[in-house]
Each structure stands twice: as C-alpha cells, then as structure tokens.
C-alpha cells in the first residue's frame, strides 16, 4: 500500500475533524500524489468533517 492509499484509508477512519485536518496537512507534503488523488482526499475529508459537524449539532440539540 502506498503512502497515498494509506492516507486515504486513515482519513476514512479518522475520529475527529481535527484529525482529518492534520491528515490533509500531511497529504499536502506528498509531492508525488496525483491531482486525482488529492481531489479524492479533499472530497472524503469534506464529507467526514460535515458528518462530524452534524453529529456535534445533533448532540447539542439533544442536550437542550
């Protein structure tokens, strides 16, 4: 498994938005990653962060 494939998997398994952001920063250092791969990382990251944000909103609503 290449570093780029491993990063995609780690983004999918991230447990917080902060972790996703840190992984994207790591991905920015992979000069050999193709534009397609970078777009995949971005798409997956956006989805994960959106999910985390919705979970936070839902939890806040339940608390009120």
What does pTM read for this prediction? 0.79
- In the chain, the number of structural domains is 1
Domain that holds residue 10: 3-63
Angle 63-59-7 from CA coordinates, rounded to 5° = 160
Angle 15-48-60 from CA coordinates, rounded to 5° = 75
Instruction: Give the tens place of pLDDT for each residue, 4-62.
Output: 779 999 999 999 999 999 999 998 888 888 999 999 999 999 999 999 999 999 999 99
pLDDT at 2 over 80: no
């Amino acid at each position: 498994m290449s570093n780029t494939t491993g990063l995609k998997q780690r983004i999918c398994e991230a447990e917080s938005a902060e972790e996703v952001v840190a992984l994207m920063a790591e991905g920015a250092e992979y000069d050999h990653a193709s534009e397609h791969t970078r777009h995949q990382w971005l798409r997956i990251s956006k989805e994960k962060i959106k999910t985390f944000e919705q979970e936070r909103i839902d939890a806040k609503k339940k608390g009120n």
